[in-house]
Structure 1
Amino acid sequence: MQFSSIVGQGEIKQRLINTVKENRVSHAQLFLGPEGSGSLALAIAYAQYVSCEDKSDHDSCGVCASCRKYQKLVHPDLHFSYPFFAKHKDDTALSFIEQWRDAIIKHPYLSLDIWRGYLDAENKQANINIAECHQIIKKLSFKPFESAYKILILWLPEYLDKTGNALLKIIEEPQPNTLFLLVAQNQDQILNTILSRTQLVKIPCLNDNEVKQYLINEHHQTEHAAAEIAFLSDGNLTEALAMLNNDESSYHDYFLKWLRMCFSNKGLEIVDFVDVLAKLGRENQKNFMRYGISYIRECCMLLAGAGNLVHLPAKELDTAQKMISVMSLPMAAAISELLEKAHYHVERNANPKILFLDVSLQIVKILKFKTIPQGTHYIPN
C-alpha cells in the first residue's frame, strides 16, 4: 500500500516520510485516529515506505521486490496482530492470517464489524489473548530476514487486556531494527503501561470535501450524491463506503414510518416494525441509526432557526419541515440522544428486539405524550 492510494492526510504522510528521511524513526509509535480516518492504511503505507528499496521523497516505489510483497501483505519482515475469536486457548492471529490479508486488500479502511464478518463470528467478543502476546515476542526475537526493519502492526490495542503487559519489555527494549506500529481508535481504552511507551501520531478524521472527491473520482458518484454521503458519514470513509451499498432513501422511508407509528402510538404496528428492524443485521441497524441521528440533527437545525445550515435533499427537507411542526427542540434533542445510545448498544451486541422496542416506547412518550426524559423521570414538555 502506498501513501498515494490513501485519501487525504497530506500533513501526516509528509511527517511520516520525514522521519525516515531524517533517520528519526521511533521504534514504538501509536497511530491514533477515529474509524474511517485511514490510520491502519497509513501504518501499512509507512511500513512499506520504511522497507522500500527505491523510495522517493514522496512515496515508496511500488515496484521493487519489497513493495510487491507488501502489496500482497506477505513480506517476511511484516507481522500483524489484531483482535480475533479464539476457539482454543492456543489460537493466535496467525490462525486467521489469510482472512486478514483478504480483508485488508479488499477493505483498506477496515472496521471491526467488517473484520467480524470475515471471521463468521459477528456476536462474539474479540480480544488479543496471552498466546498472541507470546507469539509476538517470539516473532520479534529474530533478526530481519530481508529488510532493514522487522515491523509489527498491532491493530486495536484496546483489545489487549492485562495480559498485554507481557509485551512491555519488548516494546521498551526491542531487538535492534524492530518497529512497533500500534493502530488505535480509543486512547482511553489502551493500557497506560503501553501508552506511555509509544510515540503518539494523531490522525484526524477526513473532511467532507475529501470524502466527496474520493466518492466522485473512485466510485463515480454524482456530486450531489457524493456530497450527501460525505455529510452523513461525518468524515468516516468506512461509513461512507458502507452507505454506497445501501439505499439512503429506504432508510428515510423506514425512519419516517417508525416516527409516525410512535407519534400515533400504534403498539401492534410498532411491535411488527421492531421485528423487521431486528432482522436487518447489525451493519444495517447501525446505518439506520446513523441516518436517524443525522436526520433528527437536521430537524434540530430547523427548529433552532438555522435552516441555512441544513443539508438535506428536497424530499427529505420537505418531510423534515413537516416533522418539526409536531416537535420542539428539546423533544428532537431527546430523540437524538436516544438514537445515539441505541447505536452504541447495537455496536455492543444488544438484543435488537428488546433494544428497538424500548427505544420505540421512549419515542412514543416524547412524541405522543410530550414528555422529555430528565434523568430517570419524564417531564411534560
Structure 2
Amino acid sequence: MSYQALYRVWRPQRFDEVIGQTLITQTLKNAVKTKQISHAYLFAGPRGTGKTSMAKIFAKAVNCQHQEDGEPCNQCETCKAITKGTLNDVIEIDAASNNGVEEIRDIRDKVKYAPTEADYKVYIIDEVHMLSTGAFNALLKTLEEPPANVIFILATTEPHKIPATIISRTQRFDFKQIQAKDSLSRMAYILKEKNLSYDDEALKVIAKASEGGMRDALSILDQVISFGDDKVTLDNALLVTGAVRKQLLVTYLTQVTHQETQKALMTIQEILDEGKDPERFTEDLVNLTRDLLLYQQSPELVTQIEMDQVDSDFKQLATEIKPQQLYDIIDDLNDIQQQMRFTTHEDVYLEVLTVRLAGHQNQGTQTVSSAPVDNTAIDRLEAEVSSLKKTVADLQKAPATVKTVQKRPAAMKTVKPKRTQVNLSLVYPILGAATRQDLSALQEVWPDLMNILSIPQRSIMGVSKPVAASPDGAIIAFDYAFLQQRANADQELNDALENGLDRLTHKVPKLVFVPTDQWPEIRKTYLEQHQVGNQNGQEPEITAQDDGQSKDESSRTKAEPVVDKAKELFGDDVIDVKSD
C-alpha cells in the first residue's frame, strides 16, 4: 500500500481520541447515550481542529449497533464502512465545489428516502459557508421540516458567512484552537508508536508553528521526519518551519534596545544566511514582544504558553524593557510587514527595521561618556560660541529694513503617522441612533465586561473605552492603533465581548473599534454632515429675518440643532461650544 500522510493514518476514530475538544466530545457522547439526537449540527472553528473527524465519529456512533458509553465500536461492518467512506447512508459533500442550487435541490429530493443500511442517513457538508444564497435557501426548507432518521452536520471555518436562519436551526459547536501542549503530547505519542527518536524542543517548535491546528502539526512533523531521515531534531524542525531560535530572537531584541546597531545587523545577517524566512522572522518578533508584555503582567501565563521555554535572558529583557518601547516596536514591525508584502528585497527591509528600532531606543535618552575630558575641544567650542555671539550682535545693529527669511529647521520636520483605516459606514449608523443613556449604560458595565475576559484579551482591551452607543451598536476607542487592529482581527475576542455583553445587558450590540486619535475628527465630520443635512432642507433652517435679530444671534440659533444633537450623542461634559 502507498504511503499515507500522518494526519490521515492517525485521524481520530473515537471521541476520546479527539484532541483539545473535551466539552464537545462529552456533549455528543451523552447525546448518543441518551438518544437525544438533533436533526442538524453546526461545527465551526479554525482549520485542522477536528470538525470533519468529529462528524464521522458521530455518524459512526449513532449508527453503531454495539456502541458503548456513546463510543463507536469500530469493529462492526457499519463502522468499518463509514471509516472507509463506502457506506451509502453517510454522504460527504464539499460545498466549495458543490455550492449551487441544483446540488442542494438534489439533496432535498433524496433526503426523503429512508436509509438503506444504517439507522440514520447522515449528510456531512464541509465548508458550508461556500454555498450560494440560493443554495442556502434551498437547504433552509429541508432544515425547517427535517425527515425522520436524517442528520445534517455542517462544518465551516467561517460561521459569520452563514445566514442566521440556518444557524438558528442547528446545534452549534465552536471548536477551539488546539493548545500547543496538547499537540505536543499527541505528536510524542505518535512518534513513540512509530519507534522514532525525537527532540522535545523540536516538537515544541512544531507545535507553535502549527498555530492551533492538529492537522498542520502532523503535516509539519511529516516533513521533518522525511527531511531528517526518520529523526526529529531541533535543527531540522527550525529549517522546515523557517522559525528562528527563541534565544536568537531575544539576543536581537536585547541588542536593539541597547542601541547595539552593528551587532544587531550581524545577527540579522546570521539569520538570513541560515535561510530563514524574513516574514516569519518579523512574525516571531511580534510574538516575542507580546510575550514580553504578558510576562510583565502574568509570568505564569507566558510560561504556560511557551511550554517552559522561558530562560534567564528572556526574564532579564522583560525587566529592562518598558511597555511603551514594546508598543513602539510592534508599530514598527507592523509597518515593515505591510511593506515586505510588495517587495523582493526583504533583507533590505530587515536592515532598515534594525536601524529604526535601535534609533527609537536612543530617542529621548542621553548617554554620559566615560572618556577623559578634552580641554582642547572645550577651548575650540568656547571660541566658536564667542564668534557666534559677535555675529548675532552685528546682525542686531543692522538696519531694520533688512528682512530675514526664517526656514523651519529640517530637524523640526515631523512625519505624519500612518493612519488606520476606519469603516465609516459602520460608525455613522451607530452615531445616527446614539443616545447618552445607552453610552452611560455601557460605561457602567464596562469594568465588569473586562473582568469576564481572559488575561490576554484584557491586555488588548485595557487601553480601550466606549465613546458612543446606540441600542444596536457601540463605538470603542483604542489608545493604540495596533491594538485596535489586533482587536478587529481577533474573532475569539469579539465573540467573548458579545457573550459578555449578552450576559450583562441581555443585548448584543455591534461593536466598532476606532483609534482614539481619530475619534474627535470622526465625531466632528459626522456633526458637520448632520448640519449640512439641515441646510439642505431635511430639517427647518433657522435664518436671520428683518426683525432686528443680529447676525451672531442668528448663527447661534442655527447651530443649536447640531449642538443639541452633539449633546444627545456624547453628553454635556464633553461638548465645548465656541463662537467663531
User: TM-score scaled by structure 1?
Assistant: 0.65
Counterpart check, 1:181 vs 2:153: yes
SS in 2 for 1:374: coil
Structure 2 residue ranges without an equivalent (≥5): 1-12, 193-197, 225-235, 254-260, 361-414, 422-480, 482-580
Q: Alignment RMSD, CA only?
A: 4.4
Equivalent position of 1:69 in the other structure: 81
Alpha carbons 1:205, 1:236 under 8 Å: kept: yes
Equivalent position of 1:332 in the other structure: 329
SS in 2 for 1:170: helix
SS in 1 for 2:151: strand
| Structure number with larger C-alpha Rg | 2
Identity of aligned residues (%): 23
Q: CA deviation at 1:156?
A: 1.5
| 2:213 aligns with one of 225, 229, 236 | 236
Give, as a single letter, the amino acid of the residue that structure 2 aligns with 1:49: A
Q: CA deviation at 1:25?
A: 0.5
List aligned pairs for 1:142-161, cutoff 5 A. Answer: 142-161=113-132
Alpha carbons 2:112, 2:147 under 8 Å: kept: yes
Equivalent position of 1:210 in the other structure: 182
| 2:164 aligns with one of 187, 192, 213 | 192
Q: CA deviation at 1:130?
A: 2.5
| Number of residue pairs the alignment of both structures matches | 309
| Separation in structure 1 between the aligned mates of residue 207 and residue 416 of structure 2, nearest angstrom | 32
| Separation in structure 1 between the aligned mates of residue 327 and residue 112 of structure 2, nearest angstrom | 59
Q: CA deviation at 1:34?
A: 2.2
Give, as a single letter, the amino acid of the residue that structure 2 aligns with 1:32: A
Q: CA deviation at 1:188?
A: 1.2
Q: CA deviation at 1:191?
A: 1.8
| Runs of 4 or more consecutive aligned structure 1 residues displaced over 6 Å after TM superposition | 254-257, 312-315, 339-342, 355-360
Alpha carbons 1:297, 1:336 under 8 Å: kept: no
Q: CA deviation at 1:226?
A: 2.2
Q: CA deviation at 1:358?
A: 9.2
CA 1:219/1:338 → structure 2, altered by over 3 Å: closer, same or farther?
Answer: farther
Structure 1 residue ranges without an equivalent (≥5): 86-91, 93-127, 278-284, 343-351
| 2:30 aligns with one of 18, 37, 44 | 18
| Separation in structure 1 between the aligned mates of residue 119 and residue 160 of structure 2, nearest angstrom | 33
Alpha carbons 1:300, 1:332 under 8 Å: kept: no
SS in 2 for 1:176: coil
| 1:7 aligns with one of 19, 34, 42 | 19
13-22 or 76-85, which moves further after superposition?
76-85
Q: CA deviation at 1:162?
A: 0.7
Equivalent position of 1:28 in the other structure: 40
Give, as a single letter, the amino acid of the residue that structure 2 aligns with 1:196: S
Counterpart check, 1:226 vs 2:215: no
Q: CA deviation at 1:19?
A: 0.9
Equivalent position of 1:136 in the other structure: 107
User: TM-score scaled by structure 2?
Assistant: 0.45
Alpha carbons 1:296, 1:335 under 8 Å: kept: no
List aligned pairs for 1:79-118, cutoff 5 A. Answer: 79-85=91-97, 92=98
| Separation in structure 2 between the aligned mates of residue 226 and residue 157 of structure 1, nearest angstrom | 33
CA 1:253/1:293 → structure 2, altered by over 3 Å: closer, same or farther?
Answer: closer
Counterpart check, 1:249 vs 2:238: yes
| Separation in structure 2 between the aligned mates of residue 81 and residue 217 of structure 1, nearest angstrom | 32
SS in 2 for 1:69: helix
| Separation in structure 1 between the aligned mates of residue 117 and residue 21 of structure 2, nearest angstrom | 29
SS in 2 for 1:354: coil
Equivalent position of 1:346 in the other structure: none
Q: CA deviation at 1:140?
A: 1.8
CA 1:66/1:226 → structure 2, altered by over 3 Å: closer, same or farther?
Answer: same
Per-residue displacement from partner, 1:304-360 (whole Å, max 9, x unpaired)?
764883749799x79x97xx99x9412432255468879xxxxxxxxx973776997
| 2:287 aligns with one of 297, 306, 322 | 297
| Separation in structure 2 between the aligned mates of residue 179 and residue 360 of structure 1, nearest angstrom | 56
226-235 or 70-79, which moves further after superposition?
226-235
